Amino acid sequence: MGSHKALRTFDVLESIFSFLETESLESVCNTCSFWKSAVVQSSLWKKIAINFAAKSKEDLIILKQKGLDITFEEDKFEEESEHFQKLCIHFVHFKGNWRTIEPEETFLCCAPEDVNKNFNFEWNPWWQWKNQGGWIASFTFDEKFLLCGVIETLQVWDLTSSKCVSILETPKDDVIVGVDIALNCLDLLDDIAVSGSNEGIIRVWNIKTSKYCKRLDCSEYGAVNALKLYQDFLLSGHDDGQLIIWLVKSPDQILPLSTLVHHTDIVWGLDFSDQFVVSCSEDKSIAVYLHSDIFTKGRDKNPPNDKKENLPIPGHLSSRLVGHTAAVTCVSVTDDLVVSGSRDKTVRVWLLSTSEYTLLNVLQGHTELVHYVTQDQDRIYSSDDNGELLVWDKKKAVDRSDHLYDKQFLIRRFDYGERGAIDCIKILGTKVVTSYDDFGNIAINDF
């Protein structure tokens, strides 16, 4: 090989190759065996993957999902290099070509017949005689488990094995005859699971022990429509417009701290980021609070009884987002960016500051009321009553310098109408996870 001797030194080659894009580095590996050996011996593909993962939490999740943490024996340089080369190429393809990737769809089958057959449960809910496969109103997950609500029952699924590991059924003596106890919302944090129902009850479970721990009766405020757990706090949104802040001392001991009434009608949704807490309502508005004002720091988790009245009261309204022409049915906030959906069939994108807001864009494309919105670092996702899932280009939607038509914001449209309205959307790495009105399964589309 007639090249400068520096190009035959592994350290120098690694330094040069580390500046290359993945496609160029792949070409280097195909150029000559010596250069490929330099890449292999220096574990350069692995280092590139680690650098990709360091760019954001979402990129880290994607790469871990596809094998970032896989280890190899010390002498398996070739196998390791091949694995991380494929990982890097797949990651770059996913980031750059999402709009054309055809996802692979799998299901978590949550209906009684399926979980009994597949996981040896003996679950016979009172509503099964109605030939319902199970309306899945909501679900959420952490790194280990997925929690979903089927009519009034909670299921816990192991994300690694895709197995249902427990069924948390409302005790029969807790069911009021003639009252709709179907749950509307839920959340999961560590071992604590909470659900909120149409009857106005919040139920608290320990998923580690499957113990039903606490019943919080909020029926004076109507149905519980939204729940969020954060550290030692629980937020709940109610039919009469209340946002209640609770202190969670343990699954068995939860105390009300403050009741905020900054909406004049039903609270439909809640979300929070590191900077803000937001709630949306039938009153066509979104209430915005500072994160630090809702989740007050320095609060003693076990205050003496004689000091409880001296606890700081959270809940100053920072701003109110107005512009939707009908009820705001769903809301999502990441950092200082709010995405909202409405009965007016639009999705709106807002930028927050501590006391002001800016409407960045109105995304039009839905033909029915918007059921759910969420976002990741690259895209905005919204679903509607027709069972359509629309995916929008987030970068374009937040770029105020681009005056683009709505159709240029839209990346993809998925029609799942035969499954009913899409009630919940969650993003897990490369996976878009959805649940539906008339479909007793959770769909996982892996891109």
Closest CA to 280 of 291, 265, 292, 269: 269
- Provide mean pLDDT across the span 323-340: 98
Tokens 């770059």 belong to residue: 92
- Provide mean pLDDT across the span 10-35: 83
**Sheet containing 370-375: order of strands:** 370-375, 379-384, 388-393, 410-415
Average pLDDT of the residues of the chain: 90
- Provide mean pLDDT across the span 61-68: 96
pLDDT of residue 3: 59
Q: Which of 28-32, 82-86, 126-130, 214-218 has the lowest mean pLDDT?
A: 126-130
- Provide mean pLDDT across the span 414-436: 95
> In which band, very low, low, confident or very high, does the pLDDT at 15 lie, cut at 50, 70 and 90?
confident
> In which band, very low, low, confident or very high, does the pLDDT at 75 lie, cut at 50, 70 and 90?
confident
For 307, other C-beta atoms within 10 Å of its C-beta total 9
Name, of 17-26, 99-108, 175-184, 312-321, the range with top average pLDDT: 99-108
Helix (H) or strand (E) holding 235: strand 233-238
Q: What is the pLDDT of residues 360-384, one digit of tens each?
A: 999 999 999 999 999 999 999 999 9
Q: What is the pLDDT of residues 203-241, one digit of tens each?
A: 999 999 999 999 999 999 999 999 999 999 999 999 999
Judged against a pLDDT cut of 70, whether residue 296 lies above it is answered with: yes
Confirm if 375 and 394 have CB atoms less than 8 A apart. yes
> In which band, very low, low, confident or very high, does the pLDDT at 304 lie, cut at 50, 70 and 90?
low
Judged against a pLDDT cut of 60, whether residue 307 lies above it is answered with: no
Please measure the distance between the N-terminal and C-terminal CA atoms of the chain and give it in whole angstroms.
Answer: 42
* DSSP character string of 258-296: EEE---SS-EEEEEE-SSEEEEEETTSEEEEEEHHHHS-
Judged against a pLDDT cut of 80, whether residue 312 lies above it is answered with: no
Q: Which of 51-60, 120-129, 146-155, 434-443 has the lowest mean pLDDT?
A: 120-129
Amino acid at 396: K
Helix (H) or strand (E) holding 86: helix 77-97
pLDDT of residue 308: 46
Provide φ and ψ at 370, rounded to 5°. -85, 125
Judged against a pLDDT cut of 80, whether residue 36 lies above it is answered with: yes
Side-chain-side CA neighbours of residue 144 (13 Å): 8
Confirm if 357 and 288 have CB atoms less than 8 A apart. yes
What CA–CA distance (Å, rounded) separates 241 from 284?
A: 12
Structure tokens at 332: 């999502």
Structure tokens at 292: 């630090």
pLDDT of residue 306: 47
Q: What residues contact residue 335 under an 8 Å CB cut-off, 6+ apart?
A: 273, 274, 275
Beta bridge partners of 358: 351
Judged against a pLDDT cut of 50, whether residue 82 lies above it is answered with: yes
Q: What is the CA radius of gyration of the chain?
A: 25
> In which band, very low, low, confident or very high, does the pLDDT at 299 lie, cut at 50, 70 and 90?
low
Quickly count helices (H) and strands (E) in the chain: 10, 28
Q: Which of 19-33, 187-201, 237-251, 273-287 has the lowest mean pLDDT?
A: 19-33
Q: What is the pLDDT of residues 96-123, one digit of tens each?
A: 999 999 999 999 999 999 999 999 999 9
Amino acid at 250: S
Confirm if 146 and 159 have CB atoms less than 8 A apart. yes
For 173, other C-beta atoms within 10 Å of its C-beta total 5
- Provide mean pLDDT across the span 421-445: 94
Q: What is the pLDDT of residues 122-179, one digit of tens each?
A: 998 877 655 556 688 899 999 999 999 998 899 999 999 999 999 999 888 887 766 7
What CA–CA distance (Å, rounded) separates 253 from 234?
A: 12
Q: Which long-range contacts (CB under 8 A, 24 or more apart) does 393-400 make?
A: 397/349, 397/360, 397/361, 397/363, 398/337, 398/349, 398/351, 398/360, 398/361, 400/358, 400/360
pLDDT of residue 132: 59
